[in-house]
Amino acid sequence: MSKSALPDPFQDARNTKGFGTVNDQDDPVTMVLGLKDVRKCAHNWKTFQSGGEEVGRIVVPSEQAIRDTRQIPFEVDPPQHGDYRALVEPWFKRPLEDEYKARLATIIDELLDEVLAMDSVEVVEEFSLKLQSRALTLLLNIPYQEAEVWIGWGTHVFRSDDTALDAGKANILYDYIDQQIEKASNQPGDDLYSVLLASEINGKKLTKEEVKGVMILTFAGGRDTVINAVTNTIAYFAEHPQSLARIKAEPEITGKAVEELVRYFSPLTHMGRVVTEDTQVCEHAQKAQSRISLCWASANRDERVFENANEVVIDRKINPHVAFGFATHNCLGATHARQILHILLTALADKVTAIEILDHTDNIEDWDEFKRKVGFDALTVKFN
Partner 1 sequence: MAKITFITTDNEHIVVEGESGSAMELAVQNGVQGIDGDCGGVCSCATCHVHVAEGDVAKVGPASEIEQDMLELDDNVTERSRLCCQIDVSDELDGIVLHVAG
Name the phi and psi angles at 376, rounded to 5: -130, 140
Q: Is the Cβ of residue 40 or residue 208 nearer to partner 1 in the bound state?
A: 40
Q: Is the Cβ of residue 39 or residue 246 nearer to partner 1 in the bound state?
A: 39
Q: Is the Cβ of residue 165 or residue 258 nearer to partner 1 in the bound state?
A: 258
**How far from each other are the two terminal CA atoms of the chain, in whole angstroms?**
24
Taking Cα atoms as reference points, which of 370, 236, 276 lies closest to residue 41?
276
Question: 13, 374 in Cβ contact below 8 A?
Answer: no
**Within 13 Å and on the Cβ side, how many CA atoms surround 253?**
18
Q: Is the Cβ of residue 87 or residue 215 nearer to partner 1 in the bound state?
A: 87
User: How far does Cα 375 stand from its chain's mean position?
Assistant: 12
Q: Is the Cβ of residue 170 or residue 341 nearer to partner 1 in the bound state?
A: 341
Q: Is the Cβ of residue 41 or residue 216 nearer to partner 1 in the bound state?
A: 41
Smallest distance from partner 1 to CB 335, Å: 7
Q: Is the Cβ of residue 212 or residue 321 nearer to partner 1 in the bound state?
A: 321
Smallest distance from partner 1 to CB 333, Å: 12
Q: Is the Cβ of residue 79 or residue 168 nearer to partner 1 in the bound state?
A: 79
Phi-psi group of 120: left, alpha or beta (phi > 0 → left; psi -120 to 50 → alpha; rest → beta): beta
CA quadruple 93, 344, 300, 216: dihedral positive or negative?
negative
Name the phi and psi angles at 166, rounded to 5: -110, 100
> Cα separation of 270 and 293, whole Å?
6
- Amino acid identity of residue 24, one-letter, is D
Question: 154, 122 in Cβ contact below 8 A?
Answer: no
Smallest distance from partner 1 to CB 325, Å: 10
Site residues for partner 1 per CB under 8 A = 36, 39-40, 43, 255-256, 258-259, 305, 316-322, 324, 327, 330, 334-335, 338
Question: 314, 246 in Cβ contact below 8 A?
Answer: yes
Smallest distance from partner 1 to CB 169, Å: 32
Q: What strands lie across the sheet with 271-275, from one edge to the other?
A: 19-22, 29-32, 291-294, 271-275, 48-49
- Amino acid identity of residue 373, one-letter, is K
- Amino acid identity of residue 49, one-letter, is Q
Smallest distance from partner 1 to CB 261, Å: 12
Smallest distance from partner 1 to CB 288, Å: 23
Smallest distance from partner 1 to CB 18, Å: 16
Smallest distance from partner 1 to CB 345, Å: 12
